[in-house]
Amino acid sequence: MTEALRTPASQQAVQERLPPELLPPGEGFVGILKRDLLLAFRHRGELANPLIFFIMVTALIPIAVGPQKALLSQLAPGMIWVMALLGTLLSSDSLFQSDYADGTLEQLIISPQPLWLLVLAKISAHWLVTGLPITLAAPILGLMLALPEAGYATLVLGLAMGTATFSLFGAIGAALTVALRKGGVLLSLIVMPLYFPVLIFGSAAVQRVVDGGSAGAPLALLGAVFAFALLLSPFATAASLRAGING
Amino acid sequence: MAFAALGFERDDVPLFDGLSGAVAAGDILQIAGGNGSGKTTLLRILSTALTATEGSLHWRGIALALQRAEYLADLVFVGHSPGIKLALTPRENLSWLARLYPVREQDIAEALVRVGLAGLEDVPCRTLSAGQQRRVALARLVIARATLWILDEPMTAIDQDGVALIEELLRAHAEVGGAVILSSHQALNIDGVRVLDLAEYACHD
């Protein structure tokens, strides 16, 4: 070690450089958010997959069970929520996969920016391209499934929070399974239990309103789960990525 | 930058141990060793992507664990894979990378011209050759303000012109007080390169 520490005489004149100043943490967040949205735009075909799945399956239900309005409106809240869950779950798998494969994930992990903030940027981008379209398309599907008029506002509000929670919890599972080649099934097993409360409160809220009650309580609980996920997920995901990247 | 008594085990099989060394301002340290001797592992430990089983890392005389963010802001690591998005253009790739690290007030376009990618700034990276993709990654060295460069096989897939360019970049960086740790199978055409041979630290059963 002493041998290695000694600097050659010719280079002793070289001045010690000052370290660069740190960038504000917001920079990395904006950079990754923009990058992921741009990437999603470049891969428009893949981008539409969860939405197409969501619309197609919901459109098939009236054909399969028959067009009786009474039956469909009974099924509607639960069906729409289940499809929204599956739509986001299917796309969570790829959240970190391509970044892992091309080495950019390693760059994120060793960047001086806080990793949880970069992870939050990735999750935000994921919600903007999967959860948000599903939320916006939900009223149309409600119409197809003869959802009573009273339920629409609650459905959209609930899905906005619910799909965001799905993305947040999905990220933890995606980070844990990032180095596994066939992590899809394991991912579902890890995040499913976390998805259940969202599913229960979300569909209960719509059902309550449709039955003439108030959706206040289930929506508040849904909001609480969302807030919990928002606080927990970026840190859990960042820690999982550090552990998961080395297989 | 100093590292002392580094050891690494993968699945309980030791790869190397007792590895020590240091780089000072103006130093270029080449890590040598055959395939599988742990060059990439060592460089990933030094870049903190991987944690060593034992040993300590110091940066500017202070334990690295106490100043992780400061160290990482002062480091550029170009790993085995170029670390760029193939669906994005070289310009877009550099602009997202530039938001993660402190960079010079230098135009990204200039950096791309410097690494020989003039005219290719706005084509998707997937249409570029492997060597050109590596040049995109190397353009990060031109814009970064970091003192320490850690490069894993920077010459892979690079043509003769490119090798000369890399040597030129390294020489210029060392002259202004930067430090470089790189792994390479080829001998570098630069004066004063020190070589650390991993074969001396390998663990034999």
Window 84-103 of A: residues touching B by CB (8 A cutoff) are 101-103
All residues of chain A having their beta carbon less than 8 Å from the beta carbon of residue B77 are 106-107, 110
**Residue B25 — φ and ψ, nearest 5°?**
-55, 130
Element (H, E) at B139: helix B130-143
> Based on the number of CB atoms within 10 Å of its own CB, is B66 exposed (0-12), middle (13-18) or buried (19 or more)?
exposed
- Reading the block at residue A167, the tokens are 């993305």
Residues B109/B121, Cβ–Cβ less than 8 Å: yes
A225 inside domain: yes
Asked if residue B139 and residue B167 are part of one domain, the reply reads no
* Cross-strand partners of B3: B21, B57
A224 inside domain: yes
Asked if residue B113 and residue B61 are part of one domain, the reply reads no
Asked if residue B43 and residue B91 are part of one domain, the reply reads no
Residue A8: per-residue pLDDT: 45
Residue A3: per-residue pLDDT: 42
pLDDT digits (tens, 9 = 90+) for B91-146: 999 888 888 888 876 778 888 988 888 888 889 999 999 889 999 988 988 888 88
Alpha-carbon separation of residue B80 from A111, A167, B126, B203 (angstroms): 17, 30, 17, 24
Q: Which of B10, B72, B85 to mutate to test the interface with A (most CBs of A within 10 A)?
A: B85
A131 inside domain: yes
Overall average pLDDT of the A14-23 stretch = 69
Percent of chain A past pLDDT 70, that is, above it, reads 93
Could you tell me whether strands B13-22 and B2-10 are parallel, antiparallel, or unpaired per DSSP bridges? antiparallel
Stated pTM of the model = 0.88
All residues of chain A having their beta carbon less than 8 Å from the beta carbon of residue B192 are 8, 10-11
Least confident of A11-25, A217-231, B190-204: A11-25
Asked if residue B153 and residue B133 are part of one domain, the reply reads no
From A244's Cα to the closest Cα of chain B, the distance in A is: 11
Q: Is A42 on the interface with B (CB under 8 A)?
A: yes
pLDDT digits (tens, 9 = 90+) for A134-156: 999 999 988 888 888 888 999 99
Last residue of a domain, one of B113, B146, B179: B146
From B49's Cα to the closest Cα of chain A, the distance in A is: 6
A114 inside domain: yes
The dihedral sign for the CA sequence A48, A202, A178, B99: positive
Asked if residue B64 and residue B5 are part of one domain, the reply reads yes
Tokens 């790829």 identify what position? A94
- Reading the block at residue A225, the tokens are 């789960």
Range of the domain at B59: 1-74+147-205
> Taking CB atoms and an 8 Å limit, are A15 and B177 in contact across chains?
yes
* Cross-strand partners of B62: B59
User: How far apart are the C-alpha atoms of A153 and A157, rounded to whole Å?
Assistant: 6
Q: Is B95 on the interface with A (CB under 8 A)?
A: yes
From A125's Cα to the closest Cα of chain B, the distance in A is: 14
From B145's Cα to the closest Cα of chain A, the distance in A is: 6
Range of the domain at A114: 46-61+69-244
Number of domains in chain A: 1
Residue A171: per-residue pLDDT: 94
pLDDT digits (tens, 9 = 90+) for B147-195: 889 999 888 888 888 889 999 999 999 888 888 998 888 778 888 788 8
Q: Is A106 on the interface with B (CB under 8 A)?
A: yes
pLDDT digits (tens, 9 = 90+) for A32-57: 999 999 999 988 887 788 888 888 88
pLDDT band at A160 (very low <50, low <70, confident <90, very high): very high
Residue B116: per-residue pLDDT: 87
Computed on alpha carbons and rounded to an integer, the radius of gyration of chain A in Å comes to 23
Residues B179/B1, Cβ–Cβ less than 8 Å: yes
Crossing angle of helices A132-144/A69-92, nearest 10°? 160
pLDDT digits (tens, 9 = 90+) for B42-76: 888 888 888 878 788 888 888 888 888 888 888 89
